[in-house]
Amino acid sequence: MIERTFTITGRLGLHARAAAKLVRLTSEFQSDISLRRLDGSLTADAKSILSVLMLAASRGTELQACVEGVDEELAMNAIAELFADGFGEFEAEPSL
């Protein structure tokens, strides 16, 4: 089993589009993948959009990803890359 902590950095948090990207990604792997809020007891199946959205992870929320299975290293690396890439959502700085 591999565990790693990620912080939600996007302005909109882990909203529907970002959650859908995460679920699509995690569904490609055989391993069991869960996400847990570090500030509470909520845990989600990372392969279920409803479960991920129930985390209500706004900007600054810390999530612990837990991956267990035959392709756990590949899965965790892919998840880490998605978080590092900001879910592919580039935000322009607000103009004054």
Residues annotated as catalytic are: 15
Q: Output the CA angle 55-57-63, nearest 5 degrees.
A: 85
Contacts of 77 (CB under 8 A, 6+ apart): none
CA dihedral for 46, 24, 16, 65, sign (positive or negative): positive
One-letter amino acid for residue 91 of the chain: E
**Which residues face 64 on adjacent strands?**
5, 36
Tokens coding 26: 């995690």
